[in-house]
């Protein structure tokens, strides 16, 4: 399984002028290698751009990803990694979702397709990072 981070999907969904084509190519290449997946955190982060769940689901149906539940062990690991981040002086407040995504990949052995690898590599070094 390859967990696809919000940044990559958002690049494709909004046709980002810098990252859109690179992220699309990474999605296409990754979908040949393994099953692509998102979790509830990624779903929530993406959905805020859409006025209704129906409009979001229509767009999401075009992208070959399946939804996976975050295991409890990953939620626990994410909390501990976030705690370590804060103890090390981490000050960014909107990063807990990154820890949920990284821990999900770490616990399930999934690769992570992301263009924001630094925090994942620091706190979840076992995760194989794929980048556009």
Q: Is the pLDDT score of 131 beyond 70?
A: yes
Query: Cα–Cα distance between 71 and 68 in angstroms, integer?
Result: 9
Residue range 52-70, pLDDT digits in tens = 999 999 999 988 899 999 9
Alpha carbon of 75 to those of 57, 86, 115, 124: distances in Å?
25, 17, 22, 13
Q: What are the φ and ψ backbone dihedral angles of 14, each rounded to 5 degrees?
A: -105, 5
- The pTM (predicted TM-score) of the whole model is 0.89
CB count in 10 Å sphere of residue 81:
22
CATH entry, 2-130, from 3.40.50.300, 1.20.120.160, 3.40.50.1010, 3.40.50.620:
3.40.50.1010
Residue range 79-96, pLDDT digits in tens = 999 999 988 998 776 688
- pLDDT of res. 94: 64
Mean predicted confidence (pLDDT) in 99-115: 97
C-alpha angle with apex 61: 41 to 97, nearest 5 degrees? 10
Query: Cα–Cα distance between 111 and 3 in angstroms, integer?
Result: 6
Q: Is the pLDDT score of 10 beyond 80?
A: yes
Per-residue tokens: 82:
């976030």
Share of the chain above pLDDT 90, in %: 86
Instruction: Return the domain boundaries, the chain.
Output: 2-130
Query: Cα–Cα distance between 78 and 75 in angstroms, integer?
Result: 5
């Amino acid at each position: 399984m390859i967990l696809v981070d919000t940044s990559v999907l958002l690049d494709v969904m909004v046709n980002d002028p810098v990252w859109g084509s690179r992220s699309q190519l990474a999605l296409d290449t990754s979908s040949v290698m393994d099953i692509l997946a998102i979790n509830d955190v990624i779903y929530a982060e993406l959905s805020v751009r859409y006025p209704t769940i129906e409009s979001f689901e229509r767009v999401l149906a075009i992208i070959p990803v399946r939804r996976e539940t975050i295991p409890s062990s990953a939620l626990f690991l994410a909390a501990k990694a976030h705690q370590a981040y804060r103890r090390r002086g981490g000050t960014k407040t909107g990063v807990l979702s990154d820890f949920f995504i990284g821990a999900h990949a770490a616990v399930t052995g999934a690769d992570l397709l992301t263009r924001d690898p630094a925090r994942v590599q620091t706190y979840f070094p076992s995760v194989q990072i794929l980048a556009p």
